[in-house]
Amino acid sequence: MKREFNLNLEASFPYTLKKEDFEIKVESKSSDDVKHLMVVSVNDASKTLTAKFGGAISGDYDIVLKHKDWGLIDTSDINLKVES
């Protein structure tokens, strides 16, 4: 089942948010499983991205977030836990 979730950036993020400027993927912490996610919307006022996740094998995943101009955004404190 596909689900949406939000990622909040720092209020000081210096770029206007546009969904086409972001790439999001999740990488398994225990296997080579990688899933690319779709950014479905952004809210520049609140510096929030909404992404759609189509599911994955049960386990813990790191979120990798990249902006076309900024590059990688630190998401080291975020863990995605997938359970069946």
Q: CATH no. for residue 40?
A: 2.60.40.10
Structural domain count of the chain: 1
Query: Model's pTM, two decimal places?
Result: 0.87
Q: Of all residues in the chain, what percent carry a pLDDT higher than 90?
A: 74
Please give the backbone phi and psi of residue 19, each rounded to the nearest 5 degrees, phi first. -60, -30
Q: What is the pLDDT of residues 7-56, one digit of tens each?
A: 999 999 999 999 999 999 999 999 898 999 999 999 999 999 999 988 77
CA distance 43 to 36: 21
Q: In the chain, at which residue ranges do the beta strands (DSSP E only) sit?
A: 3-8, 22-28, 34-43, 48-53, 59-67, 71-73, 79-82
Domain that holds residue 69: 3-82
User: With 90 as the cut, is the pLDDT of residue 2 above it?
Assistant: no
